[in-house]
Structure 1
Amino acid sequence: MRSRPPSGGLAMSDPSDPLNSAPASDIAFTPAVKAAQAKRGSRAMYARVEARGGFRTRITPDLVAFLGELDTAYLATANASGQPYVQHRGGPKGFIRVVDEETLGFADYSGNRQYVTLGNVSENPKAFLFLMDYAHRRRIKIWGELRAVENDPDLVARLMPEDYGALPERALLFRVRAWDINCPQHIPQKIDAPLVVAALKERDDRIAALEAEVAELRAQLDARG
């Protein structure tokens, strides 16, 4: 999956980073989190996850397939003082693209010009993607670092969905540090409106065909009578 680094791409993982010698799940399971798990009885279960290496750290084919069906995401950042911010990101299915084996990318469209996310990542690159598939009751959590790439029209063109009527201003590159799949418990099933419209049309077409068939049979019976 890896090719030449994209223009404005992110650096490879730093071998001196403590996270690289610890289970990948330690990005979320800090000592305070582990203490809370121990107090409430779930530490042993997650220790077994850590023994297997923790969360996944590379972009795998199943994650690529999930992203290909995704048209909405929630992107979380925080400023230098830790104040969090969550922003919705959307586009046609597959708008989050795979750049290389550890990097995702998407075009940053023109919006309300508050630039909270851009300001946050300028002083704190840590970011989080929360991805929901309500139709199939699936969710994926991705931890990483986010970087804005300005003045790179070739990269933006690679990330911009075809025939989408948004104005891209820059590229956003998300280096994946770890990701995990959540269980479907408590996820309500919601179906996208276009799918509902298509299903209802199929039903209505079938009803119309059956009604026409019934009318034809009645006409034949009347003709015999």
Structure 2
Amino acid sequence: MADLEEAVGRRPVGWHLKSIDVLDDHCLDFLARAPFAVLSTRGTDGRQSCLPLGGPPGVLRPRGRDRIALETGGSLATAPVGTPAGLVALLPGYRETLRVNGRLHGDELIVHEAFLHCAKCMIRSHLWDGEAPASTGDEVVETDLGHPEVADFLARSPFVLVSSTDAAGEADVSPKGDPPGFVQVVGPQTLAIPDRPGNRRTDTFHNLIEDPGTAVMALVPGDDRALHARGRARITDDAGLRSRAEVKGHRPEVMMVVDIEEVRLERCPELAASRLWDPDARVATGEMPRASRIWTDHVHQNTDPGVAARVARAATPERLLRAGLAKDYRDNLY
């Protein structure tokens, strides 16, 4: 852990203050509008999975402020009560994403933590910019990274989601975005994914140090397929890999290397049902609150009783957070 923090920096003081332990009105509004999400779970066999959820807005149905009903088509029927799960919800046209972590109880996600994830991965990936041309290809089931369809898909993908779970059984799914092709194929069955500046929680890396099992789900705007890869991950500061991931003169401090055990490229009906790539389905500017407003409200709702938390709640006016956020998004993407 010390080596990781030396490379990417320690979690900042108060890193957790933007998270809350219930679904507030901002979360409920986001979920009511979001047509697509990815659920991360770890099975009884210890293997990670990324499960897409999609449909018309409202497919994610909160039941009160402490749980979300999930439409999984029976995929979770055999999941034991208390299975670790993390969810990330996407709202077309909105740069930030909503992350919710907790435990499964039947078809419900019991909320332990909810927070808004910063927009840097969306900005770098240009996921909502312009009109993505409709494209598709063949399904490839149980193949390897060398398959032409898989290689082409990864070369076009600007956005992935990474599933992980820590030793205590707390799950997480983290969005990562960059120019297309940022997920490198560095061996017959090995992927490398750069670490870029984000919300500085470094949840994924801390989890992988404790439990290296991971699942990766890659998307391509306009394509109705999703690539699923599962394996074991490690963190490296290998100079050669980092140099291959250089963008605008900036190299990542570390890379996540995944030794792949399983790869599938398959149709994702949830993508079509969600209209995720349809420009007409994007939220209009001003339709959602500014991220700085949501974060300010979440800091004030955070229940940490510590001195640092009390100071942060007293010293976080929305206008200052908004200005700092704009500068960070402009100057600290890489």
**Range into which the TM-score falls when normalised by the shorter chain:** 0.5 to 0.7
Deviation at 1:132, TM superposition (A): 2.2
Unpaired runs of at least 5, structure 2: 1-45, 50-74, 79-140, 280-334
Residue 156 of structure 1 is matched in structure 2 by 242
| Equivalent in 247, 271, 289 of residue 187 of structure 1 | 271
Deviation at 1:64, TM superposition (A): 0.9
Residue 66 of structure 1 is matched in structure 2 by 153
Aligned residues of 2:183 and 2:192 also touching (Cα < 8 A): yes
Residue 171 of structure 1 is matched in structure 2 by 255
Q: Flag the 1:28–1:109 CA change in 2: closer, same or farther, 3 A.
A: closer
Please identify runs of 4+ aligned residues in structure 1 that moved more than 3 A. Answer: 26-29, 189-193
Deviation at 1:179, TM superposition (A): 1.6
Q: Flag the 1:27–1:56 CA change in 2: closer, same or farther, 3 A.
A: farther
Q: Flag the 1:63–1:103 CA change in 2: closer, same or farther, 3 A.
A: same
Unpaired runs of at least 5, structure 1: 1-25, 37-53, 194-225
**C-alpha distance in 2 between matches for 1:175 and 1:27:** 14
Deviations 1:172-199 (A, max 9, x none): 1111110223333232344487xxxxxx
**What TM-score, normalized by structure 1, do the two folds share?**
0.56
Q: CA RMSD in A?
A: 3.0
**What TM-score, normalized by structure 2, do the two folds share?**
0.39
> Match of 2:259, as an amino acid?
R
Q: Which segment drifts farther, 109-118 or 170-179? A: 109-118
* 2:218 counterpart of 1:131: yes
Higher strand share: 2
> Match of 1:184, as an amino acid?
C
**C-alpha distance in 1 between matches for 2:277 and 2:260:** 28
| Equivalent in 84, 87, 103 of residue 174 of structure 2 | 87
| Mapping for residues 36-55 of structure 1, pairs under 5 Å | 55=142
Aligned pairs, number: 145
Residue 48 of structure 1 is matched in structure 2 by none
Residue 111 of structure 2 is matched in structure 1 by none
Aligned residues of 1:74 and 1:129 also touching (Cα < 8 A): yes
> Match of 2:224, as an amino acid?
R
Aligned residues of 1:27 and 1:178 also touching (Cα < 8 A): no
* 2:201 counterpart of 1:117: no
